[in-house]
Copies of this chain bind each other. A is one copy, B any other.
Amino acid sequence: LDAALELIDREGAAALTMRRLGAELDVEAMSLYRHVPGRDALLDGISEVMMQELRIAPATGDWTRCARSFATGIRGIARRHPEAFALVGLRALNTPDALRPIEVLLRSLRDEGFTPAEAVGAYRLLASFARGYALIEMTGFTLAPREEGASSLRIDGLPAKDFPVIHELSRQLTRGTTDAQFTLGLDTIIAGLQAKQSH
């Protein structure tokens, strides 16, 4: 089961077939059906294993620390398992293991002045941003920070008359690490949560 994750990391998501995975484990593909109901359950299992890597800072009076570690933790998983991360982006993770970090985050928020509705909203906002950013980052930004191969369109190739602002901002669009971009977004979200919390 971890072998499946390792196989995806090593050879890409397309390489994960029942037959290839069987070969990896020195077993016929059909034997896997003794241990897992089918391919889809296998993908669920991989998502779960991946999300178990998420470590969140303990709730110690500063909810922003929890919020930050939650979001950066999700993105960290995406960076460690870029090929596999699309799976968790496309699946609900309702297992106890996946819920533990969420419990910590929600406790931290609720203990520090968030109303129940605000706490839930904050959690979902952070989760959406982290997954969305990681997914977009993994698959290549629209207007990529670094030109990274054939699929990304070069800004210089765009008709300048139709896209004057994109041209004007091309330096900012193509420069900067994706780390900085992520942190900036996270900062803004936390600022927004603070702004809404205070009144």
Chain A residues with CB under 8 Å of chain B are: 86, 89-96, 98-100, 102-103, 106-107, 110, 116-117, 119-122, 124-125, 127-133, 135-136, 139-144, 151-153, 158-159, 162-166, 168-169, 171-173, 176, 181, 184-185, 187-196
Contacts and interface: CB of A to CB of B under 8 A. Distances in A.
Nearest to A111: B165
B191 A106 contact: no
Copies of this protein, total = 2
Given A99-B163, A165-B106, A172-B119, A91 B139 contact: yes
B135 A102 contact: no
Nearest to A186: B125
B128 A169 contact: no
Given A106-B169, A162-B96, A195-B195, A129 B129 contact: yes
